[in-house]
Amino acid sequence: MWLWILKKAFVFLLSAIALILMAFFLLGEAPEENDLQAALTGKSIPSNPQARRTIVRQWRQIHGFEKPVFIFSLKPACVLPAFDSIPIYSERQAVTSWARKTGGGKEALSFYQKLVELENLLHNEFNKKDTISLELKNLTAKILSTSDFELLKVEMNSLKRNCALDTQLNASKCKDSLLIAWYNLINNHFPFRNLIPVLRWHPDCRFLQWFWGSCDSPGLLRGNLGISLKDNRKVNVILFPRFRLTLLLSVLAIVIIFLTGYPAGLLILSAPLFWKKIITTIIYFFYSIPTFWMASLLLILLGGGGLLDIFPSFGMGENQNNLHFWEIIITKIHHLTLPLFCFSYGGFCFMATLTRELAESEYQNFWILAVRAKGISHLRLMLKHVSPVILLSIITTLGQIFPTLMAGAVLIETIFSLPGLGELTFQSVLSGNYPVLMGILLLSIAVTFISFLISDVLCSIISPNFREDLIFYTRL
């Protein structure tokens, strides 16, 4: 038995590693359009572009965004690793587009650096309020984010004309070095570099830092899931309080589904044909209702949305300092009634239908007909002979439903404003909080493994035949 558990854990570990690698790669390559907004959270936005870049660069260094994503990268020869050090996302995309268009990675990076020098010069030394200076500032900022190369040529022509009108800037060396970098970019074409893939190795990458850690901060193997991009708190501190609520809702929902759906399926089988058709139609009707529509309907009908105000529509009743223990329990139940119904009504319909179909198929077996021929009562036949056989399939299905309930918490907790893992997932996706999303993925993998393992162990306890199958599987 223990050897089988170790084998199953090993298979899940391999699957978890594959999922982690794929998710980390996809999340790491996702656009960081919110890097400026996230870096300036809680701060006033400085007018000086150099100060903005410094703040974003420090924020990216703290979270490791200046390092490559993975151990190796396969990119065109013109896309240099130095592009990752450009702090602003739109400017990184623009420089990458220039390099791909011309094939000159070094020339594109040099042109970008000269543009940054010009922008800093316009805001520091030549900080004038005349029309030409303001137009130069706006035009320089626009060029830095322009990915379309044809539009870039038009804007550079405008920039050269405006520089010629500004006598002080026209005499500076910054303008000359910018024009030299521009001519090098447009005249030295190496289009073949965009077609040649280059394999580069990065031993100091973000994945190894997140997985193994460094001297300053431990990694995943030492129990650290990273730092949130939103508020710089540890992901462990953010996840586990919310995970407890989502786990509680999922466990309660799976208990409700089993205690109501399993007997309901057996009762439907025992009902007359007319009532069986009516009840089955009602179950199919409720099963086809989307969860978000059911949650919205319950809020309107019972949550004070226009008809009755019986149950709270959001939260868990946070102000409970002066309440006794049982009053707190009653308040929690009152707040969680509608979310629990949304969690479990679909599972109840599925479980009742599955139980009825499994019991009907067992009723067609010859040994059931032989037992019925002995005159045994229907209730005893159902409880003693049919239920133990179909219970294995029911428990296996419950183990598969449990991770689905955890995933469905995203929608339900967001609608009812519950501070659980689902609401955190929704917020993290919107804000691009990738360390939190990786932590949620790890928790989901662990919950899936544990739920499957528990269902298999329960089946081995109930059925000796299932236990013999496990022993046979272990010997393979």
Q: Using one digit for the tens of pLDDT, what is the confidence trace for 334-388?
A: 888 888 999 899 999 999 999 988 888 887 777 777 777 777 776 777 777 777 7
Residue 28 has a pLDDT of 65
Distance CA 93, CA 112 (A): 12
DSSP assigned state of 218: B
Residue 476 has a pLDDT of 47
Residue 127: CB partners within 8 Å, gap ≥ 6? Answer: 133
| Contact indicator for 77, 193 with CB cutoff of 8 Å | yes
Summarize pLDDT for 212-239 with one digit per residue, the tens: 877 667 778 888 888 888 777 888 888 9
Distance CA 427, CA 437 (A): 10
- pLDDT in single tens digits along all 476 residues of the chain: 667 677 777 877 888 888 888 887 777 655 554 555 555 555 556 667 888 888 888 888 877 788 888 888 888 888 888 888 888 888 888 999 999 888 888 999 999 999 998 888 877 765 555 566 678 888 888 999 898 988 999 988 888 887 776 666 655 677 788 888 999 888 876 777 777 888 888 888 888 888 887 766 777 888 888 888 877 788 888 898 889 888 888 999 999 999 999 889 888 888 888 888 899 899 999 989 888 888 888 888 887 766 777 877 777 766 666 667 777 788 888 888 888 999 899 999 999 999 988 888 887 777 777 777 777 776 777 777 777 778 888 888 888 888 888 888 888 888 888 888 888 888 888 877 888 888 888 888 888 888 888 887 887 777 666 555 555 444 44
Neighbours of 96 (CB within 10 A): 20
Report pTM. Answer: 0.77
Encoded tokens for 200:
């580069």
